[in-house]
Chain A
Amino acid sequence: MREELLAIIERNSRIDLKELAVILGAEEIDVVNELQALEDEGIICGYHTMIDWEKTSIEKVSALIEVRVTPQRGQGFDNIAERIYKYPEVTSVYLISGGYDLLVTLEGKSLKAISGFVSDKLSTLESVLSTATHFILKKYKDHGTILAKKYEDTREKVTP
């Protein structure tokens, strides 16, 4: 049940409990217990809402920043990653294989706010060697959801 349950709520965390039990073919109480267990184990880390901010009047700018750093003895990248992820404007931090070390995503009110963050805070960290900032111009697909188009049923209405 676990895998199917996770797959369902990853797409729709607001699904009604009773309905969830029905489509899983399980008892409601078992689903509740399983959800609790998944939360306790830290497998379910939160229930968020996906918002296409583009469609609102609220200005938001997001950017991807490639960061090259010097790993620290005994700490590897963990220490520096922590220093970066503690900033609230940072939305994610990934350790990456390849040409650079950390991929940081950032959300800010304006281009200026983001470039300010990079030049004042990020670049000045001692172990940061270099940064490259990429501003996001348009989101086509995010978290597995296509933002550009709505689903339309183009099938004939009745077929054998």
Chain B
Amino acid sequence: MKDMLSKQAVGLKPSGIRKFFDLVSEMDDAISLGVGEPDFDTPWHIRDEGIYSLEKGRTFYTSNAGLKELKEEICKYTERKQGVKYDPVHEVLVTVGGSEAIDVGMRAVINPGDEILIPQPSFVSYEPCAIMAGGVPVIIELKAENEFRLTAKELEDAITDKTKLLVLPFPNNPTGAIMEKKDLEEIAAVIREHDILVMSDEIYAELTYKEKHVSITQIEGMQERTILINGFSKAFAMTGWRLGYACGPRPILEQMLKLHQFAIMCAPTTSQYAAVEALKNGDDDVAEMRTAYNQRRRYLMNAFREMKLECFEPFGAFYIFPCIKEFGLTSEEFAERLLEEEKVAVVPGTAFGDCGEGFLRISYAYSLENLKLAIGKIGAFIQRLREHK
């Protein structure tokens, strides 16, 4: 059969993570610092609620937008955490992970040829989703000297009269960067002036280690033009439950709901019941996990300082993004050799955009014992590289 495949799908670059994953999985005894998900099990009371819902026979579809009770809890949570109000009936959509919200959110607002600003390094899905939505991704290369924050100048320079949407991926995977209130206020002025939309992916909102996370929706005039994306994976250690959500202006959410309805029907029912419990009684679990991540973050930062590895101090998510330019290797070469020689897996920064070249993503979603073991090996590797220079 001729022309069996979609040119657009074929044209998408495969994820850089995938390639590295294949290398690592061939090795049984590798220590990995390459994981983008919590090491904690989902807190038991949340799992128990999921089990209970199965026992009660709650095994049917929910309404397309999600359980009423869950949408209400999401609104209470967003108000409790960020002081931002949403209408649970018209302004909330429960999705299959934050990832689905990214996809349907883009497809709901993009017309052919619209430009979508994507700051990188960032999560692997934004660019392909933008392309599949018919948009034109425009990459903003974030800089180490700005601690990988997005500046008003960088934003201003990237805007054209075709710009429709800015993706705002903070706290950031892979850099661990955050945007503080003043950073957000500066870019918000530019966003309002040029009248563009924002997709704010705040999946790591609960995991910040400086001040409490500030959402762009808290800045004046921004809620009405922002699709807020969040979910349960990172905050409540619920990656496998595949549950996220979007909040935003009613006209946009109506279109997102339609796309979600035709593609997905509804998010998994068991997960939705468990998520209600997470939002009602999970604050203490989140605080406990945050404390543990912060301890590991301090441990790793200190270890890198002692190794004299250049690295800005990240205050969000569970990643550290050290610079390896001094060794004269590409990120991929460095990561591959580290894997071959020391059996430690980290992810090359380039998996998150070309401007991740010269950096590595190191995840601290691991026990201290595990981190210690890995750090010892990374230290030995770096020393060897320095000696042979």
A: residues with CB less than 8 A from B are 4, 7-8, 19, 22-25, 151, 153, 155-160
Q: Is B327 an interface residue (CB 8 A)?
A: no
Contact residues, B26-78 vs A (CB, 8 A): 30, 32, 34-37, 39
Residues of B within 8 A of A155 (CB): 35, 37, 39
Q: Offer 19 A-B interface pairs, CB within 8 angstroms, sorted by A.
A: A4-B291, A7-B291, A22-B299, A22-B302, A23-B298, A24-B298, A151-B367, A153-B366, A156-B35, A157-B25, A158-B17, A158-B24, A158-B32, A158-B35, A159-B35, A159-B37, A160-B124, A160-B173, A160-B351
Q: How far is the CA of A8 from the CA of B368 in the complex (A)?
A: 12
Q: Which chain B residue lies CB-closest to A8?
A: B295
Chain A residue numbers with a CB within 8 Å of B294 are: 25
> Contacts A23-B368, A155-B37 given: A160-B123 contact, CB under 8 Å?
yes
> For residue A23, which residues in chain B have a CB less than 8 angstroms away from its CB?
295-296, 298-299, 368
Q: Which of A8, A19, A151, A160 has the most CB of B within 10 A?
A: A160
In the docked arrangement, what's the CA distance between A158 and B361, Å? 11
Q: Are A158 and B39 in contact (CB under 8 A)?
A: no
B187 to chain A, nearest CB (A): 25
Q: Which of A4, A151, A156 has the most CB of B within 10 A?
A: A156
Q: Could you tell me the distance in whole angstroms from the C-beta of A28 to the nearest C-beta in chain B?
A: 12
With both chains docked as a complex, state the minimum distance between the C-beta of A4 and any C-beta of chain B, in angstroms: 6
Task: List 5 tightest A-B contacts by C-beta distance, closest first.
Answer: A158-B34, A23-B295, A158-B21, A157-B32, A22-B302
Size bracket, chain B contacts = 20 to 34
Residue pair B34, A159 in contact (C-beta under 8 Å):
yes
Question: Which residues of chain A are within 8 angstroms of B24 by Cβ–Cβ distance?
Answer: 157-158
**Given contact pairs A4-B291, A23-B368, A156 touches B299 in the complex (Cβ within 8 A):** no
Of chain A, the residue at the smallest CB distance from B41 is A151
Beyond A155-B35, A157-B21, 17 additional pairs, beta carbon < 8 A = A4-B291, A8-B295, A22-B299, A23-B299, A23-B368, A24-B298, A155-B39, A156-B21, A156-B35, A157-B30, A157-B35, A157-B345, A158-B34, A158-B35, A159-B36, A160-B124, A160-B125
Output the nearest chain B residue to A15 by Cβ-Cβ distance: B368
Q: Does B281 contact A (CB under 8 A)?
A: no
- A156 neighbours in B (Cβ, 8 Å): 21, 25, 35
In the complex, B241 has a CB within 8 A of chain A: no
Q: Which of B326-352 contact A (CB under 8 A)?
A: 345, 347, 351
Q: What is the CA–CA distance of A160 and B25 in the complex, to the nearest angstrom?
A: 15
Q: How far is the CA of A59 from the CA of B326 in the complex (A)?
A: 59
User: CA separation between A155 and B41, bound complex, in Å?
Assistant: 11
Within 8 A of A (CB), among B1-34: 15, 17, 20-21, 24-25, 30, 32, 34
Contact A19 B35 (CB under 8 A): no
What is the bound-complex CA distance between A124 and B139, given in angstroms? 83
Residues of chain A contacted by B173 (CB below 8 angstroms): 160
CB distance from A2 to the nearest CB of B (A): 13
Complex contacts, A159 vs chain B, CB 8 Å: 17, 21, 34-37
B21 proximity list for chain A (CB < 8 A) = 156-159
Which residues of B341-389 have CB atoms within 8 Å of chain A's CB atoms? Answer: 345, 347, 351, 366-368, 370
Which of A156, A157, A158, A159 gathers the greatest number of chain B CB atoms within 10 Å? Answer: A158
- How close is A136's CB to chain B, nearest CB, in angstroms? 23
Closest chain B residue to A19, Cβ basis: B299
- Report the minimum CB–CB distance from B146 to chain A (whole Å): 23
Q: Bound complex: CA of A23 vs CA of B295, how far in Å?
A: 4
Question: Restricting to B107-138, which residues have a CB under 8 Å from any CB of A?
Answer: 123-125
Contact A160 B15 (CB under 8 A): yes
> Which A residues are CB-close (under 8 A) to B15?
160
Contact of A158 with B295 in the complex, beta carbons under 8 Å:
no
**Which chain A positions have C-beta within 8 A of B368?**
23
The 0/1 profile, CB within 8 Å of A marked 1, for residues 182-208 of chain B is 000000000000000000000000000
- Given A157-B34, A159-B36, the answer on whether A25 and B345 have CB atoms closer than 8 Å is no
Contact of B39 among A4, A25, A153, A160 (CB under 8 A): A153
Complex-state Cα separation, A153 to B35, whole angstroms: 11
Chain A residue nearest to B366 in the complex (CB): A153
Task: Provide the bound-state CA to CA distance between A158 and B125, in Å.
Answer: 16
Alpha-carbon distance between A156 and B37 when the two chains are bound, in angstroms: 9
Task: Answer whether A25 and B298 are a contact pair too, CB < 8 Å, given A157-B24, A157-B25, A160-B15.
Answer: yes
